[in-house]
Amino acid sequence: LFQAQKMQAIGQLSGGIAHDFNNLLTVILGNLEIVQKRIGDAPKIARLLENATQGALRGVSLTQRMLAFARRQELKTESVDIPQLVQGITGLLRSSLGPGIRIETRFPEDLQPVLADSNQLELAILNLATNARDAMPDGGTVIIQAQAEVVLEQTHSTLAAGRYVCLSLI
């Protein structure tokens, strides 16, 4: 039991550190991309920026491995207000995605909180937003939205009947 508790504590610690470090790396990568677009024709600087980008990407890979280890631990579920969570990471999203990407949010006023691990949800949103940015090399808009959904028993879904919140990034 003591060993299991120790492993759980290590997993939680590494997951928290990896999550925070991954957020910092996302900001660094976003800013490196902005600088790369602005330097014009400067091969020496471009090489230095590419080296910095590759180093940051290696750091992302390391944090993903740490997060994979941490995911083996129990999720820390709590009541999460999705609009509030998204508002809390909007600054990070803006700096990570760069000036060419606009962020829009669409949440109904009566959206109920969800039971989720807020760290995992933040990470999922950051990863999806980064993927969306990469799919729009000329810039564009990322829409983060959520809506309430009801799954009935007679539907052909693997979800249990009940009320859910569907979060999407478009």
Q: Nearest to residue 130, comparing CAs of 33, 65, 37, 4? A: 33
pLDDT of residue 2: 62
pLDDT of residue 60: 82
- The pLDDT-based confidence of 61 (bands split at 50, 70, 90) is confident
> How far is the C-alpha of 97 from the C-alpha of 130, rounded, in Å?
7
Q: Which two tokens stand for residue 170?
A: 């478009």
pLDDT of residue 40: 82
pLDDT of residue 28: 93
Which amino acid is present at 95?
S
Q: What is the mean pLDDT of the chain?
A: 86
Find all residues with CB under 8 Å of 165, minimum gap 6, and list them.
Answer: 82, 111, 112, 114, 146, 147, 148, 149
- Highest-pLDDT range among 9-13, 64-68, 116-120: 116-120
Q: Which residue is associated with the tokens 């052909």?
A: 156
- The pLDDT-based confidence of 142 (bands split at 50, 70, 90) is very high
User: Residues 8-47: pLDDT tens digits?
Assistant: 677 677 777 888 888 899 899 989 989 988 988 888 998 8
Query: Model pTM greater than 0.75?
Result: no
pLDDT of residue 117: 84
Q: Which two tokens stand for residue 89?
A: 């990471």
Q: Where are the domains of the chain?
A: 1-74, 75-170
CATH, domain range 75-170: 3.30.565.10
Q: Is the pLDDT of residue 69 over 60?
A: yes
Report strand pairing: 140-151 vs 101-106.
Answer: parallel
Find all residues with CB under 8 Å of 11, minimum gap 6, and list them.
Answer: 69, 70, 72, 73
